[in-house]
């Protein structure tokens, strides 16, 4: 009997112990799954910043780091895949129901007092525990929105051997927090990444770079050399004031230009005059950019702007000289200060300035108590500017008020406007307190063809001349028409910032070279034909040998070896009607010039 009760008790204890072990295994497995499944609240702080374990963060790809807090599940082992909810991946299966504990066997009721002669009844065998229920296969998710897992299946979760220590990473300074939407979306993640990338690029652009312009730039040295020759044919009847043939160095100049501090520029230019060997002043000035209300400000020794032709550098005159009579109504270089403004994407330009009343082309200073004053203004516009200046339509005008130096003035002109010769037509010095000068300018360029014209007008108030029989007010006027055509389909460049035409743009340079025993030519440069007609009327000053009219016809050819080297060939026919006795003169001038600038 004692052995029977012992067998019963051992069976019951063994059954209960088996059930307890199975139950504990189920609890441990579920707790391990819970520890390995990180919720959205554990992954993100209140400000929406992502919390990652450093050692796990290193194993994530950039795209995984950008996932929203409701879709990210992290794994400790770097070599194993991270499980995330993604529209492009299969959903995780539903975890199976853990197996139920086996039913313990029923304890049999102890028998009554046994009958001595009969044998004891053996105990019944306990019922074995029922087999665990197999896991239910997961239901297929809806195609539009995949389910968000809350826990992992026990067999899959068992592959991750340890739990995480969640660490909150501090948010970067000066950055906007990422707020995750209620419904996770890859589109939100990518849009946030794009926004952050744009913010970073903006910060790079807005960051002030070190100023590397805290010094003057390396100066640029430039220069020019003009070798001119003129041959004159005059009427044999003219015995006085005849013109002579000339040849030699017309100009030799050197200049230094530069800029600095991102605001200033300068030019220092001197000329070695062929006559007398003295040094002349040319352009010597300092400029300041972006001055409030004044724009670009220049101070020093330079030209007031009186028209289209005269402000152009002598490097870029169509022929050997400024077309007559533009030099007659110009002022030469003077000491002064000016302001320049550009409007309408540089297509409109305004220039104005105040200058000394006397020209100072050769003198470094003027010593006089009555030096005079010139106020000059010029307005230009280029309503058409296309193909880098190949098509240009230019209009403009200028006006000047002059308070004459020492209350005197004069006008004059050389034959063909060639400054190497003395003037044959002029007014001589006359009393004048002040006068006005004005002009209109018009130019059109279409590829190789260009047409330009100007008209000048000057009005002199001269009360002192009434005693000499002159009108109290006298006027001078003149103008020109110029036609140019490139035979080689080249064209002159036009500068919006100065409102003038500059050097020709040569497509194919003149390039002689040697091939074996032969001298060959690769390219013939650019060829341009020029026609000019100029007119000047000084009839209001006709008296004795002063006053009169002049007409100039000029035909010329430009051969551009390059944009910096050219030959000029020209023929000028100049005719004057001088003084009250109507002295007529005619000059035929053949000129050539080789010009280089660098």
- Whether residue 365 is found in the same domain as residue 319: yes
Residues 327, 268, single domain; the answer is yes
Quick one: 460 and 561 in the same domain?
yes
Same-domain pairing of 150 and 269: no
What is d(CA 596, CA 57) in angstroms, rounded to the nearest whole number?
Answer: 70
Q: Residues of 447-479 as b/e, b for ≥16 C-beta within 10 angstroms?
A: ebebebbbbbbbebebeebeeeebeeebebbbb
pLDDT score at 185:
58
Inform me whether the pLDDT recorded for 103 exceeds 60. no
pLDDT band of residue 22 (cuts 50, 70, 90) is: low
Task: Look at residue 27 in the predicted model and tell me its pLDDT.
Answer: 58
Q: What burial letters (b/e) apply to 543-561, b meaning 16+ CB within 10 Å?
A: bebbbbbbebebebbbbbb
Candidates 310, 313, 316, 305; CA nearest to 484 is 316
Structural domain contains residue 31: yes
The token pair that represents 4 in the structure block: 């029977």
What percent of the chain clears pLDDT 70, i.e. is strictly above it?
62
**Beta carbons within 10 angstroms of residue 270's beta carbon:** 16
Residue 561 has pLDDT above 60, yes or no: yes
Q: Are residues 178 and 239 in the same domain?
A: no
List the beta bridge partners of residue 513. 520
Residue 54 is predicted with a pLDDT of 45
So what's the pLDDT on residue 55?
43
Backbone angles phi, psi at 81, to 5 degrees: -70, 145
361 and 476 part of one domain: yes
User: CATH number of the domain that 514 lies in?
Assistant: 2.40.160.10
Residue 320 falls inside a structural domain: yes
Q: At residue 494, does pLDDT exceed 90?
A: yes
Which of 306, 282, 285, 310 is closest to 296 using CA atoms?
A: 285
Q: What are the tens digits of pLDDT across the range 506-545?
A: 998 988 887 888 887 888 899 999 999 999 999 998 887 7
> Residue 77 falls within a domain, yes or no?
yes
Q: Would you state the pLDDT for residue 243?
A: 85
Q: Is the pLDDT of residue 38 over 50?
A: no
Q: Quick one: pLDDT band at residue 135, thresholds 50, 70, 90?
A: low
Listed range (29-33, 208-212, 525-529) with the worst mean pLDDT: 29-33
For residue 366, being part of any structural domain is answered with yes
Is the separation of the CB atoms in 371 and 355 below 8 Å? no
CA distance 570 to 591: 5
User: Taking 90 as the threshold, does the pLDDT of residue 392 lie above it?
Assistant: yes
pLDDT tens sequence across 452-467: 999 999 999 765 544 4
Q: Which domain holds residue 464?
A: 220-597
Average pLDDT, the chain: 76
When mean pLDDT is compared across 119-123, 471-475, 488-492, the lowest value belongs to 119-123
Q: Same domain, yes or no, for 584 and 490?
A: yes
Q: Note the pLDDT tens digit of each residue in 358-378.
A: 766 655 666 666 778 999 999
């Amino acid at each position: 009997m004692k052995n029977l009760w012992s067998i019963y008790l051992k069976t019951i204890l063994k059954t209960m112990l088996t059930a307890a072990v199975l139950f504990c295994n189920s609890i441990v497995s579920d707790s391990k799954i819970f520890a390995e499944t990180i919720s959205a609240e554990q992954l993100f702080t209140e400000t929406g910043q992502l919390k990652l374990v450093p050692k796990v963060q290193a194993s994530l790809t950039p795209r995984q780091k950008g996932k929203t807090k409701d879709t990210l599940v992290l794994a400790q082992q770097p070599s194993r895949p991270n499980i995330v909810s993604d529209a492009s991946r299969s959903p995780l299966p539903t975890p199976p129901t853990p197996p139920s504990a086996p039913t313990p066997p029923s304890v049999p009721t102890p028998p009554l007092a046994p009958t001595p002669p009969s044998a004891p009844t053996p105990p019944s065998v306990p019922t074995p525990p029922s087999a665990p229920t197999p896991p239910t296969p997961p239901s297929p998710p809806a195609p539009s929105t995949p389910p968000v897992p809350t826990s992992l299946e026990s067999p899959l979760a068992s592959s991750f051997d340890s739990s995480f220590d969640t660490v909150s990473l501090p948010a970067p300074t000066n950055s906007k927090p990422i707020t995750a939407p209620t419904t996770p979306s890859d589109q939100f993640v990518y849009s946030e990444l794009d926004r952050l990338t744009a913010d970073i690029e903006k910060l790079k652009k807005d960051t002030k770079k070190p100023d590397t312009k805290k010094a003057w730039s390396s100066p640029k040295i430039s220069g020019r050399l003009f070798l001119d020759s003129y041959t004159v044919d005059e009427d044999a009847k003219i015995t006085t004031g005849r013109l002579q043939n000339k040849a030699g160095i017309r100009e030799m100049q050197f200049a230094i230009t530069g800029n600095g501090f991102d605001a200033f520029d300068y030019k220092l230019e001197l000329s070695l005059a062929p006559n007398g060997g003295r040094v002349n002043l040319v352009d010597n000035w300092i400029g300041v950019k972006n001055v409030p209300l004044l724009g670009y400000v220049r101070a020093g020794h330079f030209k007031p702007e009186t028209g289209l032709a005269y402000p152009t550098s002598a490097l870029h005159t169509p022929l050997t000289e400024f077309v007559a009579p533009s030099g007659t109504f110009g002022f030469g270089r003077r000491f002064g200060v000016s302001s320049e403004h550009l409007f309408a994407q540089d297509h409109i330009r305004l220039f104005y300035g105040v200058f000394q009343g006397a020209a100072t082309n050769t003198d470094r200073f003027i010593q006089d108590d009555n030096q005079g004053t010139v106020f000059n203004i010029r307005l230009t516009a280029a309503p058409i500017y296309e193909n880098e200046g190949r098509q240009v339509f230019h209009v403009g005008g200028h006006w000047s008020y002059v308070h004459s130096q020492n209350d005197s003035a004069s006008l004059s002109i050389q034959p063909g406007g060639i400054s190497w010769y003395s003037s044959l037509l002029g007014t001589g010095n006359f009393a004048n307190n002040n006068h006005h000068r004005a002009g209109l300018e018009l130019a059109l360029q279409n590829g190789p063809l260009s047409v330009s014209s100007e008209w000048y007008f000057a009005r002199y108030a001269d009360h002192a001349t009434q005693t000499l029989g002159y009108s109290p007010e006298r006027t001078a006027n003149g103008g020109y028409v110029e036609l140019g055509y490139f035979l080689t389909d080249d064209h002159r460049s036009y500068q919006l910032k100065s409102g003038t035409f500059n050097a020709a743009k040569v497509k194919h340079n003149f390039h002689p070279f040697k091939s074996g025993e032969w001298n060959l030519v690769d390219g013939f440069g650019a060829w341009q034909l020029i026609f000019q007609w100029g007119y000047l009327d000084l009839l209001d000053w006709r008296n004795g040998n002063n006053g009169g009219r002049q007409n100039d016809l000029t035909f010329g050819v430009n051969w551009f070896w390059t944009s910096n080297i050219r030959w000029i060939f020209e023929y000028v026919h100049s005719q004057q009607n001088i003084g009250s006795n109507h002295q007529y003169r005619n000059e035929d001038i053949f000129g050539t010039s080789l010009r280089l600038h660098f």
